Amino acid sequence: MNDPQGPLSRSIADLYWIMFAAAVVVLAIVVGALVVAGIRFRERPGHQARQYHGNNLLELIWTVIPTLMVISFSVLSFQKLAYVNDVDSGAAMTIKAEGKQWVWGFQYPADAKFKLSDGSYLKAAEELHVPAGQKIKLELSAVDVIHAFYVPKLGGQKDAVPGRTTTMWIQADRPGRYVGQCIEFCGTGHADMLITVVAQNPAEYAAWQEAAVRQANLFNDPAVATGKQLYTTLACAGCHTVQGLTGGKVGPELTHLMSQKTPIGGIAGLDVNEANLVKWVGNAPGLKPGVVMPAFSKAYGGPLDDAQILSIVKFLETLK
């Protein structure tokens, strides 16, 4: 909470610093009194100890002041809780966030601007895109175990529990990338279950939304669907990771294949494009002798014809 970037996180930080300042004052008074008492009433030659039977004024002060502090902090806390738990008032949209080992998936609203060609609505993993300056309601759920959604600069944390829906809200003051993490231990991949919230100004958000819908519609292409099925049933799935789909560890991760700047297989001139991907999937050993990846084209002893290889490549082209 050292750098709140939204009204929710700022309200929590304000209350924290008020309580922290009060705690420092109390600590200073208590420690100061102990030090003074230790020096003034220490055992020393020529000083005779006396019995004290209390001081009504002091006892009244150290009873009344802490009581008033507790009451004040309770009132402030309940006011902040009411603000934190008011997830509906003024919310620009509701986004569903689903946690599963070990990734977050986001379902955007059933709104025309998020509608896909097959009648469903935009889904995404890893990154949550929101318009800056607008309140966003989140409906949290979990598939397997308890997870917790926490982006410190934008707000507090909330558990995502299997079998039920919990709610919270976030709002970013300005455009930027805000990083968080699941903070409920959820298994061996817990440390890698990151959250990235991307806040954008209205024009950038509209452009992202159009591009995201266009990209998602690629999955409705029959060739892409066939390619995805082939990818997940062949050895590809066991070797390569695609976040939210496969978890292979042998070969390079392909989650953002089409955004990578390095050439395919590290081969100079084999840039990431459709023509080169067809060559690589069809006959990787022919392009890079000794590579572990087998040839998939029937022309080189593999199981797939040209149409099937192209469909896999069409699927790979959706990984950006």
Tell me the per-residue pLDDT of 94-134, one tens digit each, with 9 for 90 and over.
999 999 988 899 999 999 999 988 888 999 887 899 999 99
Q: What pTM did the predictor assign?
A: 0.66
Q: Cis link prior to 169 (omega < 30° from 0)?
A: no
Instruction: Tell me the CATH class for 221-316.
Output: mainly beta
Q: What is the pLDDT of residue 178?
A: 94
pLDDT digits (tens, 9 = 90+) for 239-275: 998 887 888 888 888 988 988 888 998 898 899 999 9
Q: Where are the domains of the chain?
A: 7-44+52-85, 91-201, 221-316
Nearest CA to 171 out of 109, 93, 79 is that of: 93
35-44, 144-153, 171-180: which has the minimum mean pLDDT?
A: 35-44
265 within 8 A of 251, measured Cβ to Cβ = no
Interhelix angle 306-316/274-287, rounded to 10 degrees, is 120
The CATH homologous superfamily for domain 91-201 is: Cupredoxins -  blue copper proteins (2.60.40.420)
Nearest CA to 157 out of 170, 172, 175, 144 is that of: 170
Nearest CA to 164 out of 190, 143, 194 is that of: 143
Q: How confident is the model at residue 52 (pLDDT cuts 50, 70, 90)?
A: confident
Q: What is the pLDDT of residue 218?
A: 76
SS3 of the chain: the string is: CCCCCCHHHHHHHHHHHHHHHHHHHHHHHHHHHHHHHHHHCCCCCCCCCCCCCCCHHHHHHHHHHHHHHHHHHHHHHHHHHHHHHCCCCCEEEEEEEEEECCEEEEECCCCHHHECCCCCECEEECEEEEECCCEEEEEEEECCCCEEEECCCCCCEEEECECCCEEEEECCCCCEEEEEECCCCCCCCHHHCEEEEEEECHHHHHHHHHHHHHHHHHHHCHHHHHHHHHHHHCCHHHHCEECCCEECCCCCCCCCHHHCCCCHHHCCCCCCCHHHHHHHHHHHHHHCCCCCCCCCEHHHCCCECHHHHHHHHHHHCCCC
Start-to-end Cα distance in the chain: 33
Q: Is the per-residue pLDDT at 2 higher than 80?
A: no
For range 226-236, the mean pLDDT: 89
Q: Is the per-residue pLDDT at 1 higher than 80?
A: no
**Shared fold status for 91-201 and 221-316:** yes
Cα separation, 126 vs 104, in Å, equals 6
For range 269-289, the mean pLDDT: 93
Considering the four listed CATH numbers 1.10.10.10, 3.40.605.10, 1.10.3720.10, 1.10.287.90, the one that applies to the domain covering 7-44+52-85 is 1.10.287.90
Q: What is the pLDDT of residue 42?
A: 82
CB atoms within 10 A of CB 128: 24
